[in-house]
Amino acid sequence: MVRTILSSVGREVRGMHEAAYTLAAFALLSQLLALVRDRLLAAHFGVGHTLDVYYAAFRIPDFLFATIASLLSLYALLPVLSRLEAEHPGLIISFMRQALLIFFVGMGIVSFGIFLFAPELLRLAAPGLASDPQLVLLARILLLQPILLGLSNILANLTQLRHRFVLYSVSPLLYNTGIILGIVALYPHMGIAGLGWGVVLGALLHGLIQLPFFLEEPERHEIPLSRTFSLMKEVLMLSIPRTLSLSAGQISLFVLTALASLLSAGSISIFMFAWNLQAVPLTIIGVSYSVAAFPTLARMVAAGEHSEFSRHLFAAVRHVFFWGIPATVLIIVLRAQIVRAILGSGAFSWAATRLVAAALALLVISLLAQSLSLLIARAYYAAGQTAKPFFFGLFDVVFSVSSAVLLVGAFHASHFWRYFLEALLRVSDLPGTTVLMLALALTIGSVVECVVGLWYATRDFSLPLGPLRRLSFQSFCSAVLGGAAAYLVLALTGSFLDINTAAGILSQGVLAGLAGLIITGVMLVALGNEEIQETYAALLRRFVDTTPVVLEPTDVQT
């Protein structure tokens, strides 16, 4: 029975839009499960010290995953495996076994060193919480996570090589399932350590689903160790620039979390809840299109089809604009309903709802910028120019961190700036609003990275940005009218729905969201928008493409 289920999920997908929608569907399922996870965390702990400790404990393990565990990423290892399979059939299993051993030993040594010096490192990662022994305990448990996810990442190369893309897409679902089990089953018996072991369980399940297919592959020939090291060197040379790019994003989160730990209790929780919520549309729009476009872009580069490369990339850029602008407007209008419906239970108060909603509004302003940055980075990876995304990421780090320091200082020094922003976001009567400056700083960094990356992409890939002015005008006008319709429905339904209940707030948000989407769609059709016609046509077509779609843990926002 289990074997039959596993065998049925491996299927191939063709076409950028079809692949993007397929990935978006699985990304949506994963994000919905992640939202269940966050709702349970909010209900059990609210926004306070315990949840601050939980989120702060992730910073060092996540940084370890981004800097070392992702060195053997799909984007670098899969092309080498594909060539090895073509040149010497039967050698890839031997090579992967040796790669797994090398990775496990290397990560084990690094993780053990971090385990020993965890208290000192946590004084940098969360100086405001470093005195809490639970933080050290949890961070040490979570050091198993990057090891397990890294091993899963290596196994995923075979999953992708054999075109079992749906099978791999299930992995994030299992990861969040493990975390949920940690909250509901392990925490009552083990305390905060149970939360950590739930994460470890999820990381273990992430790889276990792929393990049977790896074990059933025959190892026909033994690859010489010298050949393994030669191939590993090639993989690392391809992977290091991309790993540095991932590290840049982790550095921003690392520093901002450290700053949040020095603010009022609950600041880290508020920031991370808002971050996780904005990751849902980012994953569905930005990750889906960037991942779906990557294999086709890589094939066009290999074939020397540079004009087709630019055309295909521009098509993806257009559709990111098409989805990103309306999504941003509707999320800002519906932010309170979104936060309350998803997180509003148990210990999660109305004050926490308002603060998370305000932070979400500031973060989602950068949704389009983040989505475009992901797509531009994949375009450069496909073109073999892996260093530029790293430098784009550096702009993000510099502007995010410097903006955070300056904005926090200005927030306390200037009453006008503080009262203006609090009044704009409707949180002037709440304490702990300084954390909103961290969300604004992250948005500034993302926008700067996008502007720099888009400027270089137009020059390097000959992107015709002129048509984007028409699209931006159509999308923005339609989104504003859709947002106005949603706001009107909010006001009308507030008079007869009991918005103090979960059912009432959910009904209000759904009705307003549907009204906003309908008006936005009608306006786009009335304006003759090409993208909505292409989207409709793509949804009608069958999913028949056999182009491999490469997806790995770092592509999925959790």
Model confidence pLDDT, tens digit, residues 384-400: 787 888 889 889 999 99
Tell me the mean pLDDT in the region 123-141.
Answer: 92
């053990």: which residue's tokens? 112
Distance from C-alpha of 111 to C-alpha of 115, rounded to nearest angstrom: 6
pLDDT at 346 (0 to 100): 79
pLDDT at 18 (0 to 100): 52
pLDDT at 502 (0 to 100): 73
- pLDDT at 167 exceeding the cut of 80: no
Distance from C-alpha of 338 to C-alpha of 29, rounded to nearest angstrom: 17
Question: Which tokens is 235 given?
Answer: 């993989």
Question: Which tokens is 555 given?
Answer: 């592509």
- pLDDT at 93 exceeding the cut of 90: no
pLDDT band, residue 532 (cuts 50/70/90):
confident
pLDDT band, residue 539 (cuts 50/70/90):
low
Stretch among 46-60, 195-209, 369-383, 458-472 having the lowest mean pLDDT: 458-472
Task: Report the C-alpha dihedral over residues 175, 177, 180, 186, rounded to 10 degrees.
Answer: -90
Classify each residue of 522-554 as buried b or exposed e, where b means 16 or more C-beta atoms within 10 Å of its C-beta. Answer: ebbeeeebebbeebeebeeeeeebebbbbbbbb
For 323, half-sphere exposure in the C-beta direction (CA atoms, 13 angstrom radius) is 24
């976001």: which residue's tokens? 425
pLDDT at 546 (0 to 100): 42
pLDDT at 28 (0 to 100): 72
Of residues 237 and 333, more confidence is placed in 333
Model confidence pLDDT, tens digit, residues 291-308: 777 767 777 876 778 888
- Residue 107, phi then psi, degrees to nearest 5: -65, -35
Of residues 4 and 93, more confidence is placed in 93
Cα–Cα distances in Å, from 247 out to 49, 102, 254, 274? 27, 22, 10, 21
pLDDT at 556 (0 to 100): 46
Of 329, 284, 277, the closest CA to residue 512 belongs to 329
Q: What 3-state DSSP class applies to 209?
A: coil
Judge whether 392 and 451 are in contact, CB under 8 Å: no
- pLDDT at 494 exceeding the cut of 90: no
Model confidence pLDDT, tens digit, residues 195-219: 999 999 999 998 888 888 777 777 6
For the chain, give every domain's residue range.
49-247, 265-541
Supply the pTM of this predicted model.
0.85
Task: Measure the CA angle with vertex 413, ends 411 and 419; round to 5°.
Answer: 50
pLDDT at 553 (0 to 100): 47
Tell me the mean pLDDT in the region 501-516.
Answer: 85
Question: Which tokens is 166 given?
Answer: 């749906």
Radius of gyration of the chain (CA): 23
Judge whether 157 and 77 are in contact, CB under 8 Å: yes
**CB neighbour list of residue 498: distance below 8 Å, 6 or more residues apart:** 504
Stretch among 292-301, 371-380, 428-437, 487-496 having the lowest mean pLDDT: 292-301
H-run or E-run covering 194: helix 192-208
pLDDT at 13 (0 to 100): 46
Handedness of CA 506, 507, 513, 516 (dihedral sign): negative
Stretch among 14-28, 143-157, 444-458 having the lowest mean pLDDT: 14-28
pLDDT at 552 (0 to 100): 47
Tell me the mean pLDDT in the region 133-145.
Answer: 94
- pLDDT at 276 exceeding the cut of 50: yes
pLDDT at 294 (0 to 100): 73
- pLDDT at 447 exceeding the cut of 90: yes
Mean pLDDT, the chain, integer = 83
3-class SS letters over 7-28: HHCCCCCCCHHHHHHHHHHHHH
pLDDT band, residue 14 (cuts 50/70/90):
very low
Judge whether 172 and 206 are in contact, CB under 8 Å: yes
